[in-house]
Amino acid sequence: MNQNRDPLLQIYHLFIGLISIGALYIIWPYIASVVVLLIFAFLLTTILLPSVDFMERKIKSRGLSVLAVTLALSALIIVFIGSFASGLYTQGVEFTQQIGTDTYQDNLTHLVQKTKDSMPAFVQDLLPSDSDESGSLIGSVLKNFSGVLQNLLSVAGAIGSFIFNFVMVLIFTVILLYEYHNFKRSLVRFISNKYFEIGLRLIFNIERAVSSYLRGQLLAASSVGLMSIVGLFILNMFGANLTLVIFIGIIAGLANLIPLVGPFVGMVPAIMIAVMNNLGNEAAFSHQLFNVIPSPFYLVDIILMFIIVQQIDNNFVTPMLVGESVGLHPMLVMIALLVGGTLLGPMGMLFAVPAAGVLKVVGKEWSFVSKNAHLL
Amino acid sequence: MKNALWSNVFKNWQTEESQTVLTLKQVPVFSGLRPRELKAVENLVHNRTYQPGEMIFKRLAPGEGMYIILSGKVEIYLEPEPEQRNVLATLSNGDFFGELSLLDDEVRSAAAVAAEATELLGFFRPDLFSLLERNPELGNKILINLARVISTRLRKTNDLLTEAQKSLSHESK
C-alpha cells in the first residue's frame, strides 16, 4: 500500500502515462473512425441490453436472445430504409417530371411574383424586380435540382459507405451484447483492490444512468414521431396534400434526439414536401389557418402542429419517460450542445447530452469517493 | 493422448468442478444450487488476491457485497489502528463475510484484513441485481438462502440476548 507513495514509482507512472498519451495522439487519426463505430455500437448495446436480458430470462439462452433481438432490429431498419427509399424514389420521379414541365416553371415564377407582391413596398425595393432576373434565379434553382439528381452516383457511394458502417456497428453490437457481462467482469479485474468496490459502484451507477437516459430519449422520440404522424394525417384531412407522412414523422422523432435544435430540424422535410406538392395549387397558396391567419401551402398549420407536438412532449411525455435520469440544467444542456456541435458537428450534438450526463454521474460519484477517501 | 482441438471444442462439457465451484458449494448462500447454476455464479464472481496485511475493507466504508475465502486467512476487527486491534474473528477457506451489504446500501460494520496471502471471491450487489434481471429463478434462490443465513443469525442473537437477560435477572436477585 505504501508502494504507491514511492516518488520513483510516481515518476515511473507519470512517464508511462505521458508515453501512452503521446502514442494515442500519433495513432488517433488511424483509429478515430473505428472508435466512432465502437461508440455507436456501445450506445446501441446499452439500448438493446435490457431487451436481450429480458429474452434471456424467457428462453434461457444468451446466444439465441442476441440473435433474436439483432434480427428484429435489422429487419426493422431494412424495412424502414427500403420503404423510405422507394417512397423517396417515387416522390423524386414525380418531382423531376413536374420540374420538366413548363407549367411547373410558370408556377414557380408565379409564386415568386406573388410572394414579392405580398411584401411591403420597401422590402420589394430591396429585391431584384426585373422579371428576367427572377427567371434566371428560378432557372438556376431548377438547374441545381437537376444537378443534384444527376449526381446520384456520389449518393450511391455514400449509401455504400453507410451500409458498410451499419454492418460493422451491427457486428460490434452482437459481440458486445453476447459478451457484455463477461467483458465488464474482465475490465474490472484491472481495478486495484483498494478501489475495487467503489469502482464497481461507479460503473453500475453510470450504466444505469446512461441506459435509462437513452431508453427514455428513444421512447420520447417514438412518441414525437407518432404524434407528428397523427398530426400530419389530420392536416391531410384538411387538404394539406402531404406525402411520405410516416417518414416525416420518423425523421421528426429522430431529430428530437438532439435537444433544442432537433425540433426545428424535424419541421424542415414537412415544409419542403408541402411546398413541393402544392406548388401551382391556388387553394393551397391562399389557405388561411382558422380562416384568419394566412398560411400559404399550410406552412403555418405545419409549424403550429409541430409546436403542439413539442409542447406535449416537453411538458408531459419527456418528464414522465426521461424524468430526472440525467437531470442537467438547461444552461448546461446548451453548453454541452455547443461544445459537441463545435467538436463533432451534428453527431457531437447527438452525443453531447448523454456525455454530459455521464460526466455528471462521474462527478457525483467522485465527490462521494472524495468524502469517503479516508475509508478506502 | 488428449487432442488439444477437441478438448477446446468440448471444454463446456467438462464435468470436473473448479476450485471456485467447490468453494461456492460450501457457502450457505449458494446451497441447493444445481451444477449449471453454480457455473452461472462462477461466471459472476470476481477473483481477488490480497497480500498479507492488506486491507480488504475498512469499518464504516461503503459496502457493495460479500467475500468468500478461496484460500488464506482473513481477520475481522473493529479498531482502526493495527496496534489497538482486537480480532473479533479469524476466517479461513470456505468462510464468507460482508453478506449484509448485498441487501442494503449501508456502511461496513467491521473491518477486514488479509492475515496471510489470501485469495477471495467477491459477489457484489450489482452482480446480484444483474442476475435477478437475467435469471430471476437463480437470483431468488440466492436471496432465499441469504434470508435463511440472516434469520439463523437473528435466532442466535435472540438466544444470546435471552441468556444475557436471564443472567442479568439472576444477578439482580
Q: Tell me which residue of A228, A289, A250, A217 sits closest to A88, measured CA to CA.
A: A250
CA–CA distances in Å: residue B151 to residues A166, A204, B147: 53, 29, 6
b/e burial code for range A117-136 (CB count within 10 A of at least 16 → b): eeeeeeeeeeeeeeeeebee
Angle at B34 between CA B29 and CA B40, to 5 degrees: 75
Q: Is residue A221 part of a domain?
A: no
Contact at CB, A53 and B133, closer than 8 angstroms: yes
- Among chain A residues, the shortest Cα distance to B60 is held by A375
Q: Is residue A137 part of a domain?
A: yes
Task: Name every chain A residue with its beta carbon within 8 A of the beta carbon of B126.
Answer: 200-201, 203-204
Report chain A's C-alpha Rg in angstroms: 27
Residue B106 has pLDDT above 90, yes or no: no
Convert the pLDDT of each residue in B19-69 to its tens digit.
889 999 889 999 999 998 999 899 889 999 999 989 999 888 888 899 999
DSSP string over A35-83: HHHHHHHHHHHHHHHHHHHHHHHHH--HHHHHHHHHHHHHHHHHHHHHH
Task: Name every chain B residue with its beta carbon within 8 A of the beta carbon of A204.
Answer: 125-126, 129
- For residue A103, the model assigns a pLDDT of 62
Q: Give the A:B interface size as CB pairs under 8 Å.
A: 61
Cα–Cα distance for residue pair A49/A42, rounded to 1 Å: 10
Cell of A188: 474490472
In angstroms, the separation between the Cα of residue A216 and the nearest Cα of chain B is: 19
Q: Is residue A8 part of a domain?
A: no
Question: Which chain B residues touch A if contact means CB-CB below 8 Å?
Answer: 43-44, 46-48, 50, 54-58, 60-65, 107, 122, 124-126, 129-130, 133-136
Angle at B97 between CA B92 and CA B99, to 5 degrees: 155
- For residue A98, the model assigns a pLDDT of 64
Q: Is residue A69 part of a domain?
A: yes
Q: Is residue A344 part of a domain?
A: no
Per the CB < 8 A criterion, the answer to whether B111 and B82 are in contact is no
In angstroms, the separation between the Cα of residue B68 and the nearest Cα of chain A is: 15
Spell out the residues 6+ positions from residue A103 whose beta carbon is closer than 8 angstroms to its own: A280
Q: Is residue A6 part of a domain?
A: no
Cα–Cα distance for residue pair A274/A286, rounded to 1 Å: 14
Bridge partners of residue B87, in order along the sequence: B77
- For residue A366, the model assigns a pLDDT of 77
For residue A298, the number of C-alpha atoms closer than 13 Å in the C-beta half-sphere is 28
Distance of CA A129 to the CA centre of its chain: 41
Angle at A289 between CA A286 and CA A291, to 5 degrees: 80
Task: Name every chain A residue with its beta carbon within 8 A of the beta carbon of B129.
Answer: 204
Per the CB < 8 A criterion, the answer to whether B69 and B93 are in contact is yes
- For residue A2, the model assigns a pLDDT of 44
Q: Out of A268-282, A310-324, B70-84, B112-126, which region has the weakest mean confidence (pLDDT)?
A: A310-324
Q: Report H helices in A238-329.
A: 245-255, 262-278, 282-285, 299-312, 318-321
Q: What is the pTM of this model?
A: 0.69
DSSP state of B16: P
Confidence of residue B10 (pLDDT cuts 50, 70, 90): low
Helix, strand, or coil here: A327?
coil
- For residue A327, the model assigns a pLDDT of 64
Contact at CB, A200 and B54, closer than 8 angstroms: no
Angle at A56 between CA A51 and CA A57, to 5 degrees: 100
Residue type, B75: E
Cα–Cα distance for residue pair A116/A128, rounded to 1 Å: 10
Q: Is residue A72 part of a domain?
A: yes
Q: Is residue A369 part of a domain?
A: no
DSSP string over A335-375: HHHHHHHHHHHHHHHHHHHHHHHHHHHHHHHHHHHHHTGGG
Domain count, chain A: 1
- For residue A3, the model assigns a pLDDT of 44
Domain boundaries, position A84: 34-190
Per the CB < 8 A criterion, the answer to whether A232 and A242 are in contact is yes
Q: Tell me which residue of B51, B66, B164, B171 sits closest to B121, measured CA to CA.
A: B66
Q: How many CB atoms lie within 10 A of CB A13?
A: 12
In angstroms, the separation between the Cα of residue B126 and the nearest Cα of chain A is: 6
Q: How many residues does chain A have?
A: 376
- For residue A329, the model assigns a pLDDT of 74
Cα–Cα distance for residue pair A248/A244, rounded to 1 Å: 6
Nearest 5°: phi and psi at A101? -80, 150
Mean pLDDT of chain B: 86
Stretches where chain A sits below pLDDT 50 are 1-3, 133
Confidence of residue B159 (pLDDT cuts 50, 70, 90): very high
The dihedral sign for the CA sequence B99, B104, B106, B109: negative
Q: Tell me which residue of A113, A23, A58, A98 sits closest to A276, measured CA to CA.
A: A98
